[in-house]
Amino acid sequence: MIDPRKGLVMKDFETTEEIIIPNDPLERVIGQEEAIYIAKMAARQHRNLLLVGPPGTGKSMIAQALSLHLPRPTEEIVVVQNPQNPERPMVEIRTAEDVKKEQEEQKFAEGKLIDPKEAPVHVAERLGYRCPKCGAYSSPSEPVCPVCGQPKIVNTSNPFGDIFGSISAAFGISSAPPRVTTTVYEEGREKVIVYERAGEKIRVLDEKTLEKRREIEKKKPYKVIVPLNRKPFVLATGASETELLGDVRHDPYGGHPQLGTPPYKRVVAGAVHEAHQGVLFVDEITHLGDLQRHILTAMQEKKFPITGRNPQSAGAAVKVDDVPCDFILVAACNIQDLPNILSPLRSRIIGDGYEVLMETTMPDSEENRAKYVQFIAQEIVKDGKIPHAKRDAVIAIIEEGRRRAKAIDGKDKALTLRLRDLGGLIRAAGDLAVMEGSKYIEEKHVKRAIEIAMPVEDKIEKKYGSLESGMMRDVSKSQKSPYNYWNESGPDGYQ
């Protein structure tokens, strides 16, 4: 295997199969050395980042890779029921240690699971595991004994029997599982043992476990809205207000104590909260329009309240204050969109972070050709549906990269870094190889793919001589040069 980062020339390899692909996602980004350096700095120092440049140059890749260079989140965000004022649930932060401690406590309170045959006979019968007539054991979900065909008498400590149980289950009220309480004499004193139905097994709860359970039940009910184990990367592209800022769901039963769902359970975190201790990536930030204001507030306060955002919903009355949202903002946009970024947000990013202009080309050097080889291998492996490329095919792709640097960016002796499009070309060449049943992508597949993958504008030029003369042939007079408001530019135009 050959590592292109250590340098390589074309004769070093036969096919891209031999090329090593870096494990670190940041090292898979080619030609954007400055952006990567700054991204690493932003991750280390907890700064914001604005990536500016044309599509397909690696902005999303860098944002995602940056998040992997952050330490793992150490805090979990929880909303706790507020018994005095249920519509104002409180927020609580739990550390990894708190979470671990509670998991252990719960394990303690879980009791022991036993086979129904190990339980006292009368317990197994009352919980519906054993047929009182013939003594056969079966699942409590079967109301009739599968051996003798007699109905099993099942104890469900609830006067409405299973009917009410299933209704309340449908409304999300968890009825306690059927249980049988017994007493035993041990060490000269009476001890309580509770047996509980637990699927195909029976759960045994002794006094210590019951005590633990009571302790846990005394604690206030809560809901984890941002779990400890989460990805430190949250994408908020084209997010709606509720996706971005959180919501409190509607409850058709208006929080009715039995039928409804209590307010704290209906609280949902927004992207700003989910990105706590991680990266909030907002691609095409100007598409957020007015919502940019809220991002600014969230960045300034590092907290953002969650409230029901539909005024018609019962959730609108509920509000959770001070929900933490301490994130690194990585925003991306095209050069043309720069004026549409909310200016205080932009100065906030500059004031506490960096703006980076993405490169669109890199010099055509041996070193950079080696990076192209790595890129081609990466794209092939990532796609998974196309074969590797032979050296001649790789050279043809590099030549096309060189042509594009000249045609699109006017750069001589350079290679394009508009790599999403070039990736499209590689996939098209791969598809052609697959159609032909070829074991590798060959030069001829690349040549053909270049023709196919050509933008329609270029195809028109080739066919009609120029784009304009193509248009003249294609439209009738009434359709010519229409006024389209969406092509208006400038601050007064359509936004």
The dihedral region occupied by 235, where left means phi > 0, alpha psi between -120 and 50, and beta the remainder, is beta
Task: Please say which residue, 60 or 378, places its beta carbon nearer to Mg ion.
Answer: 60
Q: Applying CB under 6 A, does 368 fall inside the site for ligand ADP?
A: no
d(CA 429, CA 443): 9
Contact flags string 116-135 toward ligand ADP, x per CB under 6 A: --------------------
Q: Work out which of 57, 60, 261, 368 binds Mg ion, going by CB under 5 A.
A: 60
Point out which span in 29-37, 157-165, 390-398, 441-449 binds ligand ADP (CB under 6 A). 29-37
Strands 201-205 and 319-320: unpaired
Look up residue 404 and give its two tokens.
């594009």
Count of residues touching ligand ADP (by CB under 6 A) = 19
The Cβ of residue 90 has, within 10 Å, a number of other Cβ atoms equal to 16
Site for Mg ion in 114-173 (CB under 5 A): none
d(CA 312, CA 292): 24
Q: Work out which of 205, 375, 416, 442 binds ligand ADP, going by CB under 6 A.
A: 375
Point out which span in 53-61, 233-241, 337-345, 483-491 binds ligand ADP (CB under 6 A). 53-61
The Cβ of residue 444 has, within 10 Å, a number of other Cβ atoms equal to 16
Q: Applying CB under 6 A, does 56 fall inside the site for ligand ADP?
A: yes
Residue of this chain nearest to ligand ADP (CB atom): 58
Task: Please say which residue, 39 or 417, places its beta carbon nearer to ligand ADP.
Answer: 417
Q: Applying CB under 6 A, does 61 fall inside the site for ligand ADP?
A: yes
Residue 264: closest CA among 78, 79, 76, 93: 79
Task: Please say which residue, 60 or 286, places its beta carbon nearer to Mg ion.
Answer: 60
Q: Work out which of 4, 401, 423, 470 binds ligand ADP, going by CB under 6 A.
A: 423
CB under 5 to 8 A by kind: which of Mg ion, ligand ADP, none does 32 bind?
A: ligand ADP
Q: Read out DSSP for 81-137?
A: --SS-TTSPEEEEEEHHHHHHHHHHHHHTT-EEE-GGGS-HHHHHHTTSB-TTT--B
Site for ligand ADP in 309-348 (CB under 6 A): 332
What letter represents residue 161's amino acid?
G
Q: What are the residue ranges of helices labelled H in 176-330?
A: 207-218, 241-245, 271-274, 292-301
Q: Applying CB under 6 A, does 370 fall inside the site for ligand ADP?
A: no
Task: Please say which residue, 225 or 330, places its beta carbon nearer to Mg ion.
Answer: 330
**Contact between residue 127 and residue 195 where contact means Cβ atoms under 8 Å apart:** yes
Residues that bind Mg ion (CB under 5 A): 60
